[in-house]
Structure 1
Amino acid sequence: MKFFEIFNLKPDFDIDVSLLSQKYRDLQRAFHPDQYASGSESEKLLALKKATEINDAYTTLKSPVSRAEYILKENGLDISHETTTIKDPSFLMQQMEYREHLEEISDMTEPYDAIIEFEDTLSAEQVELQEKISRDLRNAHHQEAASALRKLKFIVKLQAELERLEDQSGQL
C-alpha cells in the first residue's frame, strides 16, 4: 500500500494520526520544492512530484473515511464514488430519525444544548462504526467494512450539517 509506505507506516486502519502528521511535516521539509530551487529542472520536477504525492497520501490517510476507502480500494473494492444505497432497514430508520432531529434543532430558538447532545450521539456512533471498520478490515471482511463505511459517511455528513447549524446559531 503505497500511501502507507510513504510514511513508513503499517497498512492498517488504526494509525497514530499525530505520528502521521509528524512524518508528513518531516517529509514536506525534505521534499519541499523550495529546497530544490537551485537544482536542475529534473530535480525540481522530481521534488514537486514527490511533494504532491506526499500531500495526496497525507490527505487520504488523515481522514478515517478516505483511509478506509483507500484500504478497500487497495483490496479491490472501490466505493469512493459509488451511489449504493444502504439496505439496512434499522439504519435507514435511524437516518430518518436523525434527519428529523436535525430539522427540529434548526427550528429551535435556543438550540445550543440540543446541538451538543446530538453531537455527542453522532460522535459515539462514529466511534462505534470506526471500530467496526477496523475489525472488519483486520479480518479481511471487506464487504462488511464497506457497509459500515457507507454508514460512517452518512454520520460524517450529518456531523458537518450539524456543525453548520451550530455556526449559524452562534451568529444569531
Structure 2
Amino acid sequence: MNYFELYGIPVTFEVDPGVLKKKYYELSRRYHPDFFTQASPEEQADVLEKSSQVNKAYKAFRDKDSTMQYLLEMKGLVEPEEKYQLDPMFLSEVMDINEQLMEWEMEEDPELLERAETAANELLKSIYDEVEQDMAGYQEAVTSEKALLRVKDYYYRKKYLQRILDKIASSRNIATRK
C-alpha cells in the first residue's frame, strides 16, 4: 500500500494541508500501538508497521519536495542516489551564480551575495514555471510520462539550486555574526 492509499487521498504533487492534518490524526488514533496491547503479537506488529507508515507518509506529505520525490519514486522515475544528468545550459547558469558567490567570498560585499541570491531565485522561478501546469494538473493514469519526466528534471534542478540557496543563507548568517 502506498502513502496515498494509506491516507485515502488522491495521488497528487500538492497535498492539501488541512486534509493531510485531519487524515494524520485520524490514522494516528486508529493505529496507535497503545490501543492494541491486548492484541495478538501478529496484530501488534501489523499496527506498529502501520503506525510507522502513517508517520513516514505524514513527513513526506508535509514537504512539497518530499511529496514530489515520493510520487516520482512511486512511478519508478527517481531512484535513491541516482546520478541525474543536468542540462548543460542550466549548469552554465548555475556556474554564473557560483562565480558571484566566489566573488562575495573574496570581497564580502553584501551586494554580491544579494545578486547571487536574486539570480538563484529567478532561475528557480523560471524552472518552476516550466512544470507548474504539469504538477498542478497531475491526474493519476492520465498525466503522460513525458510530463512526469519534465517534473523529474525540475526536481533535480531544484535540488541543485536549493543547495546554492542554502549556502547563500549560511553565508549571510556568517556575515551577520562578524
TM-score tier by shorter-chain length is 0.7 to 0.9
Judged with a 3 Å threshold, the aligned counterparts in structure 2 of structure 1 residues 169 and 80 are, in CA distance, closer, same or farther, namely: same
TM-score by length of 1: 0.75
The AA in structure 2 aligned to 1:171 is R
Count of aligned positions: 170
Q: Are the aligned partners of 2:14 and 2:67 in contact in 1 as well (CA < 8 Å)?
A: no
What runs of 5+ residues in structure 2 fail to find an aligned partner? none
- What residue in structure 2 maps to residue 162 of structure 1? 168
Q: 1:75 aligns to what?
A: 75
Structure index of larger Rg: 2
Q: 1:157 Cα deviation (Å)?
A: 1.7
Please give the alpha-carbon distance, in whole angstroms, between the structure 2 residues aligned to 1:29 and 1:108: 56
> How many percent identity over aligned positions?
22
Unaligned runs of 5+ in 1: none
Give 1:62's aligned residue.
62
1:91-121 alpha-carbon deviations (Å, 9 max, x no partner): 111110121223334445463x665665555
SS in 2 for 1:13: coil
The CA deviation at 1:31 is 2.7
Q: Mapping of 1:5-154 within 5 angstroms?
A: 5-37=5-37, 39-86=39-86, 88-109=87-108, 111=110, 118-119=116-117, 121-136=119-134, 138=138, 139-140=143-144, 141=146, 142-154=148-160
User: Per the alignment, do residues 89 and 108 of structure 1 end up closer, same or farther by CA in structure 2, a change over 3 Å counting?
Assistant: same
1:171 aligns to 2:177 (yes or no): yes
Letter in 1 for 2:4: F
Taking a change above 3 Å as real, the CA distance of residues 91 and 47 of structure 1, as seen in their structure-2 partners, is same
Question: Where in structure 1 do 4 or more consecutive aligned residues deviate above 4 Å?
Answer: 37-40, 107-110, 113-121
**Separation in 1 of the partners of 2:63 and 2:127?**
14
**2:98 counterpart letter in structure 1:** R
Task: Give secondary structure in 2 for the equivalent of 1:83.
Answer: coil
Q: What is the alpha-carbon distance in structure 2 between the residues aligned to residue 116 and residue 26 of structure 1?
A: 45
Report the AA paired with residue 177 of structure 2.
Answer: Q
TM-score by length of 2: 0.73
